[in-house]
């Protein structure tokens, strides 16, 4: 059992929890809780840590220990107070895992057609995680991100509820070039924009890419200009805009309603 807070493994996990750079440098991130740990594909599991009290929960611990043995990885037990320092949650469940970052390419996401989301500078971790979860639920093919929050941030990971392992995603540092590539693959590109036409009166193709902009600023002018059409979600009352994750979800489900 690990009992010292200065143990190198404890420091290592803490760095992965707090630092996007550490996650990028090591190609790892952290998941917490029984459910999320169960969701991790075996080939991505790196190491598992459980608290002393969790190790005494026979059925849960036996299950996790069997998964670790099958994957050929270690399952370290730490004292409850040390585990609390490792955790990113206020009420930790007593289990966390370091996980290899999944990787997909633009080709992986676009090869089979369908619909994708292109996110520009989404900064709220909760929004980003919810968008992944909604994308899986609506049957989208994947997500392309430009300048967004770190998808491996613990708050994002929790918000995905496991979708981070099932929804393909990739990154771009040139969103206009990415839009051009989507056009080259036969995609119709739609920009969520307050100056657009009503979503429910717009023709939406099956092979569709939806552009969603920053929570406060929306899409950049150059990004909107590169789209085939500007569309908006109609709103009543004095509401000027919708939360980015809600807007993405509504677009995803409208595409789903028409095409699946």
Query: Each residue of 112-135: pLDDT tens digit?
Result: 899 999 999 999 999 999 999 999
Residues of the chain where predicted confidence (pLDDT) is lower than 70: none
Instruction: Give dist(CA 115, CA 188) in Å, integer.
Output: 9
DSSP-derived letter for residue 147 is S
Domain 106-259 fold is Alpha/beta knot (3.40.1280)
According to the model, what pLDDT value does residue 34 have? 92
Torsion sign across C-alpha atoms 141, 203, 248, 21: positive
Instruction: Give dist(CA 176, CA 224) in Å, integer.
Output: 9
According to the model, what pLDDT value does residue 89 have? 92
Instruction: Give dist(CA 144, CA 208) in Å, integer.
Output: 13
In this structure, the number of other CB atoms found within 10 A of the CB of residue 44 comes to: 17
**Degrees (nearest 5) of the Cα angle 68, 74, 80?**
100
According to the model, what pLDDT value does residue 152 have? 98
DSSP-derived letter for residue 36 is H
According to the model, what pLDDT value does residue 4 have? 82
> What global pTM score does this model have?
0.94
Instruction: Give dist(CA 129, CA 256) in Å, integer.
Output: 19
62: left (phi over 0), alpha (psi -120 to 50) or beta: alpha
**Residue 6, both tokens:** 């200065």
Asked if residues 45 and 73 have their Cβ atoms less than 8 Å apart, the reply is yes
According to the model, what pLDDT value does residue 179 have? 98
User: Nearest 5°: phi and psi at 82?
Assistant: -70, -40
* Residue spans in the chain of domains classed CATH 3.40.1280.10: 106-259
According to the model, what pLDDT value does residue 2 have? 84
Domain 8-100 fold is 60s Ribosomal Protein L30; Chain: A; (3.30.1330)
* Residue spans in the chain of domains classed CATH 3.30.1330.30: 8-100
231 - beta bridge partners?
197
95 - beta bridge partners?
50
Asked if residues 128 and 122 have their Cβ atoms less than 8 Å apart, the reply is yes
Contacts of 189 (CB under 8 A, 6+ apart): 118, 179, 182, 183, 208, 209, 211, 226, 227, 228, 229
The pLDDT tens digits of the residues spanning 144-192 come to 999 999 999 999 999 999 999 999 999 999 999 999 999 999 999 999 9
According to the model, what pLDDT value does residue 240 have? 85
């Amino acid at each position: 059992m690990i009992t010292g807070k200065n143990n190198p493994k404890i420091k290592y996990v803490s760095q992965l929890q707090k630092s996007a750079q550490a996650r990028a440098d090591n190609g790892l991130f952290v998941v917490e809780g029984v459910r999320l740990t169960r969701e991790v594909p075996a080939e991505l599991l790196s190491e598992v840590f459980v608290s002393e009290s969790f190790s005494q929960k026979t059925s849960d611990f036996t299950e996790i220990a069997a998964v670790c043995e099958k994957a050929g990885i270690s399952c370290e037990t730490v004292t409850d107070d040390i585990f609390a320092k490792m955790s990113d949650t206020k009420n930790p469940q007593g289990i966390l895992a370091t996980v290899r970052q999944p990787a997909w390419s633009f080709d992986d996401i676009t090869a089979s057609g369908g619909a994708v989301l292109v996110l520009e500078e989404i900064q709220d971790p909760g929004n980003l995680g919810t968008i992944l979860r909604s994308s899986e639920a609506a049957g989208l093919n994947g997500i392309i991100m430009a300048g967004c929050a770190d998808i491996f941030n613990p708050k994002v990971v929790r918000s995905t509820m496991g979708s981070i392992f099932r929804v393909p995603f990739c990154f771009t540092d040139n969103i206009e070039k990415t839009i051009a590539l989507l056009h080259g693959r036969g995609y119709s590109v739609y920009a969520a924009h307050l100056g657009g036409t009503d979503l429910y009166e717009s023709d939406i193709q099956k092979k569709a890419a939806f552009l969603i902009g920053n929570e406060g600023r929306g899409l950049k002018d150059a990004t909107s200009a590169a789209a085939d059409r500007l569309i908006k979600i109609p709103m009543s009352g004095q509401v000027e805009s919708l939360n980015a994750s809600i807007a993405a979800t509504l677009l995803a489900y409208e595409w789903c309603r028409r095409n699946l």
